[in-house]
Amino acid sequence: MSILVVGSVALDSVETPFGKREEALGGSATYFSVAASFFDKVNLVATVGEDFPERYIALFKNRGIGIDGLVTAKGKTFRWKGKYDYDLNTAHTIYTHLNVFEHFKPVIPKHFKKSPLLFLANIDPDIQYSVLKQIRRPKLVVCDSMNYWIENKRKELERLLGKIDILLLNEAEARQFSGESNLMKAAQLIVSFGPKAVVIKKGEHGVIYFSKDSHFVAPAYLLESLYDPTGAGDTFAGGMVGFLSKSREINESSIRKSIIYGSILASFVVEDFSINRMLDITMKDIRARYEHFRKITKF
Amino acid sequence: MSILVVGSVALDSVETPFGKREEALGGSATYFSVAASFFDKVNLVATVGEDFPERYIALFKNRGIGIDGLVTAKGKTFRWKGKYDYDLNTAHTIYTHLNVFEHFKPVIPKHFKKSPLLFLANIDPDIQYSVLKQIRRPKLVVCDSMNYWIENKRKELERLLGKIDILLLNEAEARQFSGESNLMKAAQLIVSFGPKAVVIKKGEHGVIYFSKDSHFVAPAYLLESLYDPTGAGDTFAGGMVGFLSKSREINESSIRKSIIYGSILASFVVEDFSINRMLDITMKDIRARYEHFRKITKF
């Protein structure tokens, strides 16, 4: 199958207690695409400015990521600068320059309109909705969001929830959206808005998957070194949707495995800045860590 | 086999957003004993005052908990009062009246000196050490501690670590003891002090078990209702040591299962105040939740 992703491509400047990087390749659609590209064909819909480095375009191409939907607009590329303190849990934004991303109105190229899998990365829920209206209903729609949209575009987000299959939120966002501190109650409330399931990402504490019929809980892969958590959530999504794209069927069993693959991809990406760690590894490394994960969770 | 536990028996007054209880049965040895009594014979070494209610003595007896080592001393029973805010994560102590517990010098009755399993609940590491000196080396020594002893009796705690098999700590205590924020590094450092393994309890986020050779990670059982987290750690220990006492062998496989049983017992105890929830359930309920846990973690 093939995967369509709509989101951001950015230049990130990041500082953590372990070092810093200036204008490294970032953005939700970037992390997602690179992670998913281990499994299947990904087509990217995003926008960059005229200053976007040619070598990053080459990087997408080299990984087989389709860039027919990557539009170069007049102006500068989306830039974000953030800093993490010692605990690495919270990103402190130093600046966000939306630049060309401010006027991003994704147009889905004709040959992507029948994509069987769609990931709507974290952007304005109205824009996410507009993507769904341009295409044939995919077999699977996975969607991310964030605190800003929950607070400022609640109604638009609720409308979107009726049209998607799986919503990804982190722990705080799930509590914020539902007004419930208990995550099981929060998840129940979220699925009552329409999605078939919600995945609540708890970072170093693992993941909860909750559908109308069942739930699944998984710890995170234990890491000794964590350098930069930027992009972990989108990388998780990339591993998850990537694996599902290669699965014969999308059912409870393959979704559970896809969540573990998502966690494994995320466990790699935080071991270095930007997407760098993913450039070091092969499917063999991913499978080895997946098998190790199975070993350390077996009882 | 049989299990020896040395710790506290107390009268707890607890307030949570869901209600309050005055002078309910509490104390580390109480929670441990009641949980372990589902699996095997437990003998309790602790002290209470002359005011300790007869009905609580009857409760221990009714569950087959051996009270030959439960000494009634002149004075009042240990009392603790605490309050939990909405998130239920942190207990705010309103008072601690040690009373007879202040002069607790456990004397192990002769017929308990060959107990094959020992749980040293959270008390002064010097007292924990004195218990080990009175008895034949058990097959398994599991030990709990807390921030106060890490801060104020560091050397005594380190001496003790050379003599035990498994140390139980919560996440914050593991970080405090090791000076490492990364839990994998923290665990490595802790086992370098002598214990065969450390279990790091992360509450609603599950458990990490770390030995010299291997590690095991498990999420927590997901609960919809959490009323009172008091005693969850000691109940976890009771389920864990109780299961190990009934296991043919204490090895990696039985330890992993025991950790899940510990989590299951803890998931029950927090559903009501004091030990009340454990009085409602049978081994059948415990097994059913264990099987459900297996189901929701399988991938």
What pLDDT was estimated at residue B90? 80
What pLDDT was estimated at residue A147? 94
Instruction: State mean pLDDT over B106-114.
Output: 96
Instruction: State mean pLDDT over B118-131.
Output: 97
- Which residues on chain A are in Cβ contact (under 8 Å) with B17? none
Instruction: State mean pLDDT over A46-69.
Output: 98
Instruction: Give yes or no for residue B9 having a pLDDT over 80.
Output: yes
What pLDDT was estimated at residue B240? 98
Select from A5, A7, A13, A17 the least CA-distant residue to A96: A13
Contact status of A186 with chain B (Cβ, < 8 Å) = no
What pLDDT was estimated at residue A91? 85
Instruction: Give yes or no for residue A180 having a pLDDT over 90.
Output: yes
Contact status of B185 with chain A (Cβ, < 8 Å) = yes
Contact status of B298 with chain A (Cβ, < 8 Å) = yes
Nearest by CB: B299 against A181, A182, A260:
A260
Q: Mean pLDDT across chain B, nearest whole number?
A: 96
* Residue type present at position B91: A
Give the strand pairing for B91-97 and B79-84. Answer: antiparallel
Nearest by CB: B205 against A205, A222, A298:
A205
Instruction: State mean pLDDT over A56-74.
Output: 97
Instruction: Give yes or no for residue A93 having a pLDDT over 90.
Output: yes
Nearest CA in chain A to B210: A296
Residue percentage of chain A with pLDDT more than 70: 100
| Six-digit token string for A138 | 């995919």
Instruction: Give yes or no for residue B85 having a pLDDT over 90.
Output: no
Contact status of A288 with chain B (Cβ, < 8 Å) = no
Binning pLDDT at 50, 70 and 90, where does residue A68 land? very high
Q: What is the pLDDT of residues B175-203, one digit of tens each?
A: 999 999 899 999 999 999 999 999 999 99
Nearest CA in chain B to A185: B224
What pLDDT was estimated at residue B119? 98
Q: Count of A–B CB contacts within 8 Å?
A: 77
Binning pLDDT at 50, 70 and 90, where does residue A57 land? very high
Q: What is the pLDDT of residues B15-24, one digit of tens each?
A: 998 899 999 9
Select from B225, B231, B198, B172 the least CA-distant residue to B33: B231
CB B268 within 8 A of CB B228: no
What pLDDT was estimated at residue B135? 98
Instruction: State mean pLDDT over B78-83.
Output: 97
Binning pLDDT at 50, 70 and 90, where does residue A90 land? confident
Binning pLDDT at 50, 70 and 90, where does residue B158 land? very high
Question: A184 and B223 in contact by Cβ < 8 A?
Answer: yes
Question: B296 and A216 in contact by Cβ < 8 A?
Answer: yes
Contact status of B175 with chain A (Cβ, < 8 Å) = no
Between the CA of residue A19 and those of A10, A56, A269, what are the distances in Å? 20, 22, 15
Stated pTM of the model? 0.95
Question: A181 and B225 in contact by Cβ < 8 A?
Answer: no
How many other CB atoms are there within 10 angstroms of residue A253's CB atom?
A: 12
Nearest by CB: B181 against A87, A183, A218:
A87
Question: A217 and B217 in contact by Cβ < 8 A?
Answer: no
Binning pLDDT at 50, 70 and 90, where does residue A286 land? very high
Instruction: Give yes or no for residue A89 having a pLDDT over 80.
Output: no
Question: A214 and B260 in contact by Cβ < 8 A?
Answer: no
Instruction: Give yes or no for residue A85 having a pLDDT over 90.
Output: no
What pLDDT was estimated at residue A51? 98
d(CA B60, CA B109): 18
How many other CB atoms are there within 10 angstroms of residue B91's CB atom?
A: 16
Question: B217 and A215 in contact by Cβ < 8 A?
Answer: no
How many other CB atoms are there within 10 angstroms of residue A189's CB atom?
A: 15
Nearest by CB: B222 against A217, A253, A296:
A217
Q: What is the pLDDT of residues A143-155, one digit of tens each?
A: 999 999 999 999 9
Q: What is the DSSP string of A44-104?
A: EEEEEETTS-HHHHHHHHHTT-EEEEEEEESSPPPEEEEEE-TT---EEEEEEE-GGGGG-
Question: A183 and B214 in contact by Cβ < 8 A?
Answer: no
Residues 211-270 of chain B with CB under 8 A from chain A are 214-220, 222-226, 253, 256-257, 259-260
Nearest by CB: A217 against B215, B259, B297:
B297
Instruction: State mean pLDDT over B219-244.
Output: 96
Start-end of H helices in chain B:
28-36, 54-62, 125-134, 147-152, 154-161, 171-178, 183-191, 232-246, 252-269, 276-280, 283-297
What pLDDT was estimated at residue A131? 98
Binning pLDDT at 50, 70 and 90, where does residue B25 land? very high
Residue percentage of chain B with pLDDT more than 90: 95
d(CA A204, CA B204): 13
Nearest CA in chain B to A171: B205
Contact status of A286 with chain B (Cβ, < 8 Å) = no
What pLDDT was estimated at residue A273? 96
- Which residues on chain A are in Cβ contact (under 8 Å) with B184? 222-224
- Which residues on chain B are in Cβ contact (under 8 Å) with A259? 299
Binning pLDDT at 50, 70 and 90, where does residue A86 land? confident
